[in-house]
Structure 1
Amino acid sequence: MSEDVSAIAGVQRHLPVFQALLVTLGMVITTDILKTAPTVALNVGSDHFYWVWILGGLLSMAGALCFAEMATAFPHPGGDYHFLRLAYGERVGMLFAWSRFSVMHTGWIALSAFMFADYVNAVLPLGPYGSGLFAAGVIIALVLLNLLGREIGFLTQTALVVLLALGFLSIAAAGGWLAWQDFVPEVPKVLAVPEQTGFAGFSAAMIFVFLAFGGWSDAATLSAEVRDGRRGMFIAMLGALSLLLAIYLALNWAFIQGLGYEGLAASEAPGVELLNRAFGAPEVGLILLVVGISAIASINSTLLVGARTTFAAARQVPQLSGLAVWDKRHGVPRRALLAIGAVSLLLVLFGSFSQSGFNTMVEYLTPVYWLFLSLSTLALLILRHKFPDAPRPVKVPLYPVLPLLFFSLCLYMLYSSVVFVGYGALLGIAVLVLGAILLALLGNTSIKPSSTEELL
């Protein structure tokens, strides 16, 4: 019965496994690494620098195994929204959909658009409000592109991910060129001093490591569209994270070769500095190209995922039935796409009149992300108990040890995201509480229970 939900929603299994892998890679690979690598180097010793990245990649794969089991057992365009409501009930699922709609997805879309606009502004001054207008234009263009049809949206994402991976490998090649020439990086005259050391420093570093690996859970929204339902999600999620870990290790190795550990910790733009030392002049064009492709790929993948979660959640609330329409001709949730785009534009408008740095957005997103990731991981154990006879083409190895290990990690990261970061975390939590209040005002009768077909 796992296919029935796709028929009800109008969704078809159209996505080849390899393309699903590339789309998943596009959900997680971003230029965050160009910002997070110096922060990680600043908070951990040189002996542990590579190990925290390897640890982050392996633990992310452990979480992906949990999601692969649920995605193959309960395929649905809502992804972990669907898992949460099966495990905990409709209201928790709706609260998760709200958090994605108001905090995680739309906030990430606006942040990525502003990141691209700021890099363009550094090369071609856009004026006082030019960054906001440029960011809004990028979002509008990608929403319109996805409205043209699912094939265009997914093919665009595939091409962007390939170009982005090649761009990152080009930066890594600069480190290889310097290593081949036996280049010895200079130690900076002023060494960066970490704000936190020991356990606190490790916790802060892991927050940024997992930020760079974040987004893999969104791949569960593709579970009803991947052609090979038995192994497609497993290959897409584990394959994407394996490739990402290899790319990140190559980039960090290149940074160390070109800048040295102390130089990386003190750098504000390691990619630019590395290319400068390798080729004699700042390769602004290449960095701008990589950042632009990354931002567009990130926004495009978030639109693909966010619209599907909004569509799935709207089907359960009569007041939101206008968003619960799947355009069968183009194969997209058209109205949900427009809604995600509209909220993202509102955040861009807000951002145009306020200044919020990269770290502030990390604080805003992180607690909400880890809260629901912990609930989703625990949902695996609950669903095994509630639906023991459901077909499970993929099963988590070392059950229940591995899920409980990842659940403990999620709780630790949730604690760290509140204790070891700034006040921006409180704003994200406040928006989540607002969603809970709105759900309470709707009342129990306003949310339709899942049908039997959608449970399995």
Structure 2
Amino acid sequence: MKREISLLQATSINMIDMVGIGPFVMFSLVIRLVGSNLFLWAWVFGAVTALIDGMIWSELGAAYPLAGGSYNFLKEAYGKKGGPLMSFLFVWQTCLQSALVVASAAIGFSQYFNYLIPLTYWEEKALSGLLVIVITALLYRNIRTIGKMAVFLWAGVIIILLWIIISGFTHHRVAYSPLPEKGGAMFNWSFMLLLGHASVKTIYSFLGYYNVCHLGGEIRDPGKNIPRSIFISIVCIGVLYLAMNFSVVGVIPWQEAMHSKFAISLFMEKMYGTRTAQVATMLVLWIAFASLFAVVLGYSRVPYAAAADGNFFPWFARLHPRKDFPYVSLLFVGGLGFVCSLLLRLEDAINAILAMRILVQFVAQAIGVVLLRRRKGTEGLPFRMWLYPLPVILSISIWLFVWFSTGLAALLGLLLMGFGTVVFFVARDTWLAGAKKKIT
């Protein structure tokens, strides 16, 4: 695989992954979950979580810039004894949760499309499935072309968000403050509980700041460009999200916005009328489309990396004979995402996404940084996180808090991890080896 993705392209891929349909469909839901003007703190919490965890991803991504991201990080961190199991578990859960991520983006797209044309339940499902097929077809090409497409989609995303933000600030009508009302308290157990549930949704809207790590084998000068693209993405998207929230509730009172499924479209409608709101809705759908493009691109590299390393089904390691991309892995992620988009609800998919990946990926990686530093030291690291070990401690604490906040979905994560462990020990010496021999 060739290193042809520049810093601009890497940052573009990260940002369009982060800004999908999430902030638009989650806007009113977050307000409803918090139930007060303090809802903005859930978005702040999401940004802080991404920034802290981004330090871990940056250190690992710069040190091990290979396709597959977390697969390589976990394999290196846990050594010869635990590495194969942990990396296998990551790929195992990624094969399932990547389909959920793809499905959630496609379902969110079809739901928001209802503002333009009311759809029946099955028409929504047909649209979401068709979207996954179109995205997979667009990605069926070499990485140089994809990098250029990503920058084009990214430019559209930034223009749309700036239009929303500037419009709100220039048509400000409603006073809004994210601070407690007189006599009210912010930091109490009730607020923390509500913040936990709402933050599951805001963190979902920030996911993707690490997508560049999955493409590590295709990034130019990865020691510098991977950390830069991660931090640029998080800071820019965090500012844009907060500004967008302030902008919208400055035109629509939060008490009204919380009851609208199409809050951004309603916001544009109040300022410019129905026709402009319809144009804005189409642009929001552009953002959702761009995000799904980046999501499928990044996840299609994970099964490939594991298979190329001999730790997963060998056919996933196949590269296209002329265009040098992992076409089997791409078709698998797209195909499973298509099926899930037809079967699942949006909120269930979001809870399952976080519940499945927190322990095996986010928490395990944070611990992995400590293990790597103890075993190999820090000399020669292209990037070293600031204030170590504070980011590691905070990251583990925050992710466990969010994991418990997913409720019953947290049990799904444990069950998936337990079942994957059984599959690993049963299959690694017989089934996978037999499949590899058969293919070769």
Q: TM-score band (shorter)?
A: 0.7 to 0.9
Alignment-derived partner of residue 85 in structure 2: 91
1:290 to 283, 287, 294: 283
Alignment-derived partner of residue 368 in structure 1: 356
Q: Deviations over 1:378-412 (max 9, x none)?
A: 11111112222663111011111222221221122
1:348 to 302, 326, 341: 341
Cα distance change on mapping 1:362 and 1:318 into 2, 3 Å? closer
- Cα distance in 1 for partners of 2:27, 2:175 equals 17
What number of residue pairs does the alignment pair up?
416
8 Å CA contact retained: 1:143, 1:341:
yes
Q: Secondary structure at the match of 2:217?
A: coil
Verify: 1:435 aligned to 2:428, yes or no.
no
Verify: 1:391 aligned to 2:380, yes or no.
yes
Q: Report the CA distance between 1:173 and its aligned residue.
A: 2.6
- Cα distance in 2 for partners of 1:285, 1:45 equals 28
Q: Secondary structure at the match of 1:399?
A: coil
Q: Deviations over 1:320-368 (max 9, x none)?
A: 211112336423111111111221222234x2xxxx4332222221211
Cα distance change on mapping 1:264 and 1:306 into 2, 3 Å? same
The AA in structure 2 aligned to 1:60 is: A
- Cα distance in 1 for partners of 2:414, 2:387 equals 34
- Cα distance in 1 for partners of 2:67, 2:296 equals 13
- Cα distance in 2 for partners of 1:399, 1:434 equals 34
Cα distance change on mapping 1:368 and 1:319 into 2, 3 Å? closer
Q: Report the CA distance between 1:302 and its aligned residue.
A: 1.5
Q: Deviations over 1:415-447 (max 9, x none)?
A: 2223xxxx4554455444443332232045667
Verify: 1:164 aligned to 2:164, yes or no.
no
Q: Report the CA distance between 1:290 and its aligned residue.
A: 2.9
Verify: 1:359 aligned to 2:347, yes or no.
yes
Structure 2: gaps (5+ residues): 177-188, 434-440
The AA in structure 1 aligned to 2:111 is: D
Q: Secondary structure at the match of 1:258?
A: coil
Say which is worse superposed, 267-276 or 311-320, in terms of deviation.
311-320
Superposition pairs of residues 206-221 of structure 1, within 5 angstroms: 206-221=199-214
Q: Report the CA distance between 1:29 and its aligned residue.
A: 1.2
Alignment-derived partner of residue 12 in structure 1: 2
Q: Report the CA distance between 1:310 and its aligned residue.
A: 0.9
Cα distance change on mapping 1:275 and 1:138 into 2, 3 Å? same
Superposition pairs of residues 16-415 of structure 1, within 5 angstroms: 16-44=6-34, 48-88=38-78, 89-103=83-97, 105-121=98-114, 123-124=116-117, 129-179=122-172, 183-184=173-174, 197-281=190-274, 283-317=276-310, 320-327=313-320, 329-349=322-342, 351=343, 356-371=344-359, 372-388=361-377, 391-415=380-404
- Cα distance in 2 for partners of 1:86, 1:383 equals 8
Structure 1: gaps (5+ residues): 1-10, 187-195, 449-456
8 Å CA contact retained: 2:299, 2:333:
yes
- Cα distance in 2 for partners of 1:344, 1:224 equals 24
The AA in structure 2 aligned to 1:67 is: W
Q: Report the CA distance between 1:168 and its aligned residue.
A: 2.1
8 Å CA contact retained: 2:105, 2:288:
yes
- Cα distance in 1 for partners of 2:14, 2:313 equals 28
- Cα distance in 1 for partners of 2:315, 2:26 equals 40
Q: Deviations over 1:159-180 (max 9, x none)?
A: 122212222222223312322x
8 Å CA contact retained: 1:15, 1:226:
yes
- Cα distance in 1 for partners of 2:267, 2:20 equals 18
The AA in structure 1 aligned to 2:90 is: F
The AA in structure 1 aligned to 2:422 is: I
8 Å CA contact retained: 1:117, 1:134:
yes
Q: Deviations over 1:75-124 (max 9, x none)?
A: 11010111112223111111111111112x11111222222233335534
8 Å CA contact retained: 1:318, 1:446:
no
Alignment-derived partner of residue 452 in structure 1: none
- Cα distance in 2 for partners of 1:279, 1:256 equals 16
Q: Deviations over 1:145-165 (max 9, x none)?
A: 211221222222221222122
- Cα distance in 2 for partners of 1:447, 1:410 equals 32
Q: Please give the TM-score of this superposition, normalised by the length of structure 1.
A: 0.83
Cα distance change on mapping 1:17 and 1:321 into 2, 3 Å? same
- Cα distance in 2 for partners of 1:202, 1:162 equals 32
Cα distance change on mapping 1:441 and 1:381 into 2, 3 Å? same
- Cα distance in 2 for partners of 1:397, 1:49 equals 29
Cα distance change on mapping 1:236 and 1:383 into 2, 3 Å? same
The AA in structure 2 aligned to 1:440 is: F
- Cα distance in 2 for partners of 1:156, 1:270 equals 29
Q: Report the CA distance between 1:128 and its aligned residue.
A: 6.0
